[in-house]
């Protein structure tokens, strides 16, 4: 079976708990154990910085020897002055990553950034959440990005390809009503038959395999997709083809 392409992975440290897998070597080890061939990776450090440019350059340096497997995403904060200078040219990064809930803006306020990314052919990955809200530090509770706000952004930028990561099932069903939104499956954690219901209602062409490595372990997400009662063509599209299509089928 075709290997897996992970649409939701990270490199770096998390300030609220020690991560056992934070470096490229450690993340690649986790990926290999789960038969994940490639992954879109973002900087966890950039989540907590207003000026994300240096974090993006650090990410490029960190994954430089692993570009065959790790596809870096540039984190942009559109509420920071001169964010335009952080927008990457195609080829340096595989896409753009946004954290509206951590950087303090509504998703639709990123419209100029998303439109410019679309003009450069770059997909935009937006974290609905980074982890289960029940695991948040008491002093740092961060609400999920509202599906309504993300939907308004998608409608205002119809040429953009937007990947919403770590959405729950109900959020995913709302978001998939917008034809330019893709969903990764790292946040779809039930009930039984959840993947089947998404495929039945929306088709498989905008569903992407994802794990949330290293904030989540990958194997439950692998098993969830392997056990889903869907056609093999749908399974292969979710495992690899849909995400690969975001970067020209690589």
Residue 196 lies in a domain: yes
pLDDT at 248: 76
Q: How many domains does the chain have?
A: 1
Range of the domain at 75: 4-245
* Distance of alpha carbon 221 from alpha carbon 186, whole angstroms: 6
Residue 135 lies in a domain: yes
> What is the torsion angle, in degrees rounded to the nearest 10, for the CA atoms of residue 163, residue 165, residue 167 and residue 171?
-20
Encode pLDDT of 72-85 as tens digits: 999 999 999 889 98
The reported pTM is 0.94
Max mean pLDDT range (45-49, 130-134, 138-142, 238-242): 238-242
**Residues contacting residue 122 through CB under 8 Å, at least 6 positions apart:** 88, 90, 93, 94, 95, 96
Reply yes or no on whether the pLDDT at 17 is more than 80.
no
pLDDT at 22: 75
Residue 17, SS3?
Answer: coil
pLDDT at 23: 83
Residue 106 lies in a domain: yes
pLDDT at 37: 96
CATH number reported for the structural domain that contains residue 14 in this entry: 3.20.20.140
Residue 250 lies in a domain: no
Angle at 235 between CA 187 and CA 7, to 5 degrees: 40
Residue 111 lies in a domain: yes
- Quick one: pLDDT band at residue 141, thresholds 50, 70, 90? confident
Phi/psi-derived region of residue 24, left when phi > 0, alpha when psi is between -120 and 50, beta in every other case: alpha
Encode pLDDT of 178-205 as tens digits: 999 999 999 998 888 999 999 999 999 9
């Amino acid at each position: 079976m075709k290997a897996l392409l992970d649409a939701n992975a990270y490199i770096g440290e998390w300030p609220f708990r020690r991560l056992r897998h934070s470096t490229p070597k450690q993340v690649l080890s986790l990926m290999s154990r789960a038969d994940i061939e490639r992954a879109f990776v973002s900087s966890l450090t950039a989540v907590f910085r207003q000026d994300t440019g240096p974090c993006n350059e650090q990410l490029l340096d960190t994954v430089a020897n692993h570009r065959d497997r790790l596809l870096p995403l540039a984190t942009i904060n559109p509420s920071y002055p001169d964010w335009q200078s952080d927008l990457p040219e195609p080829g340096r990064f595989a896409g753009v990553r946004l954290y509206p809930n951590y950087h303090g803006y509504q998703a639709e306020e990123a419209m100029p950034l998303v439109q410019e990314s679309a003009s450069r052919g770059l997909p935009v990955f937006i974290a609905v959440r980074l982890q289960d809200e029940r695991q948040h530090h008491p002093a740092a509770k961060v609400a999920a990005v509202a599906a309504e706000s993300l939907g308004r952004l998608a409608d205002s930028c119809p040429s953009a390809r937007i990947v919403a990561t770590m959405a729950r099932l109900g959020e995913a069903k709302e978001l998939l009503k917008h034809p330019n939104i893709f969903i990764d499956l790292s946040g779809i954690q039930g009930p039984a038959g959840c993947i089947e219901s998404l495929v039945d209602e929306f088709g498989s062409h905008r569903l992407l395999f994802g794990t949330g490595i290293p904030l989540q372990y990958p194997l439950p997400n692998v098993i969830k997709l392997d056990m889903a009662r869907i056609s093999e063509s749908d399974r292969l599209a979710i495992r690899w083809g849909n995400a690969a299509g975001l970067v020209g089928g690589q």
